[in-house]
Amino acid sequence: RDLGPASAAFRARCAAALLEKLHGLGLVNSRQSLAVCESLSAAAFCRRRLPCLLVKLRMAQNLRHAVTFVEQGHVRVGPEVVTDPALLVPRAVEDFITWVDASRLRQKVLDYNQERDDFDLAA
C-alpha cells in the first residue's frame, strides 16, 4: 500500500501473489483486495490447524480429543500419517483428511455405521 505509483506493477504482482497464497491456505475467502488482509487475525491461522478441522469435520467431539487422535497417529492427510497437531492444512488438501487404515477408531466408526467389509473382519 505504501509503495507509491512508481511501482504499481510490482505492487499488483505482490498483492496478487499474497492474496493467492492466503486463499490457498484457506485464510481468506476472496482474492479481490488487500483490505481482507488487514482484518486477518491469529485466530484465522489457528482455525486452519488439523485438530480444529477434525472438530469441524465432526471426526472428533472436541479439540482435546482431536489433538490426542493426531498425536497417536490415527489421522492421515492424503497418503501421509500426521502426528503433529500444529499442521496447517491448505484448502486443496482439506478433503483428504481421513483415518489411517489400520486405526482402531476407523474400525469402530465403520462398525457403528455398519459399513465394515467382511474381508476386514477376516484379517
Write down the pLDDT at residue 54: 95
Query: pLDDT digit string (tens) for 20-44?
Result: 999 988 898 888 888 888 888 999 9
Model pTM score: 0.78
Strand (E) positions, the chain? 75-77, 80-81, 97-99
Q: Is-contact 21 28, C-beta < 8 A?
A: no
The class (CATH top level) of 47-122 is alpha beta
Write down the pLDDT at residue 22: 92
Write down the pLDDT at residue 1: 62
pLDDT in tens, the chain (123 residues): 677 777 888 888 888 899 999 998 889 888 888 888 888 899 999 999 999 999 999 999 999 999 999 999 999 999 999 999 999 999 999 999 999 988 888 888 888 888 877 665 555
Write down the pLDDT at residue 9: 85
Q: Where are the domains of the chain?
A: 1-40, 47-122
